[in-house]
Structure 1
């Protein structure tokens, strides 16, 4: 007997991704989109989950990450393209457009948001996540190819400039995110000494493949260890290391 999408095991998530997904999944539950587009789906760990909840399309420009995402998402009923968002069909719109840990990799973030909004149907939503607070910018950000981090006020301003309304921003990651970030900063400081003078674009290509867990048992252990911190962060939705925003395109 063949497995249905709901029977198949979901890809494992890294600890920081679990903290992020705890916020995102509750937003998706509330919005209940029929169609969804994910820009920069990486290796498809979030996309596989979204594909069970909406008619899903993911796009990923990195060929290696796309190959993994394709295997993970298509078996869940979704679609994936090895492409840039600028290559999407003009005029195609979705109930939900999302981009997780993508905007900070783009130098022209205003231009990117303006393009993404064209794919949100009138009255639909844009959901995105970014690292929080520029004063926390460190080796992890430089090694990942980040141009910046955002405060809630700065991200709100960017979304308003893109014509979005009803903006709601959650800060997540307290308290575990601080420890995870400290470890990553130490590791990535050493990596930066080895990679030489690479551009943010060159560093970005590999970021979707970095620190991604593999194997069902390891994934289950990470989920179990992270679950208490997912509950804890809900107590402090204004404190942490990352932001999740949801905003509406004018009807």
Structure 2
């Protein structure tokens, strides 16, 4: 995983462990970095609209016992309602985020959880967001209200990626500003490619990233008031 994904996983993994879901559906599973970890010992389905990413996700997730389908949520059979529906770094790519969240909620059983991650703070929107195909970033209160308007309860929003996220974002903004000047693309192309960029190219590089990021995983726990990413969890009410 890339450094920011490792920071995110350190927040997501304990929450998934606490929920202890038997069935998980992940929308926008990318190349399967999270899915390969979540799928172990669970009934896992990953849904990925980009065919190249879906192929790589299947190679990572299926040995762990999960399944991957290529398509959009509305196009595939999701099977039985899940205990946990998750989407990491996906909602910001969708123009009508409220409609997308409403659709995702239908895939989770009453009493089940919805978990997402998004980039934090609207005023930090920059070249890295444009290159990734983002429509927006989210303030914590904005994300909480979005969950509550969708009917979710017991909403918890966590800020993460302090302080390393700021350095990573500064480097990406500088790099992506040059890229966008030289390679104009539409938002659909940028979104499709976003799950394939920034991934470690070898096992040794991945190991080096894990070692280098480890101190910052511990450090971010000291400050949950600021950072560059958000993880939100909400519950679908049992009686609606």
Q: TM-score range, shorter-chain basis?
A: over 0.9
3-state SS in 2 of match to 1:123: strand
Unaligned stretches of 5+ residues in structure 2: none
Match of 1:207 among 170, 190, 194: 194
Aligned length: 238
In the TM superposition, 1:98-137 aligns within 5 A as: 98-137=86-125
Large movers: runs of 4+ above 3 Å: none
2: CA distance, partners of 1:35 / 1:90: 11
TM-score scaled by length of structure 2: 0.97
Aligned to 1:5: none
Q: For the Cα contact (< 8 Å) 1:91–1:118, is it kept in 2?
A: no
Match of 1:240 among 224, 227, 235: 227
Match of 1:142 among 127, 130, 134: 130
2: CA distance, partners of 1:189 / 1:42: 24
* 2:39 counterpart of 1:21: no
2: CA distance, partners of 1:227 / 1:53: 26
Match of 1:228 among 211, 215, 225: 215
2: CA distance, partners of 1:16 / 1:120: 27
2: CA distance, partners of 1:203 / 1:194: 14
Aligned to 2:35: 47
3-state SS in 2 of match to 1:45: coil
TM-score scaled by length of structure 1: 0.93
2: CA distance, partners of 1:244 / 1:229: 17
Aligned to 1:178: 166
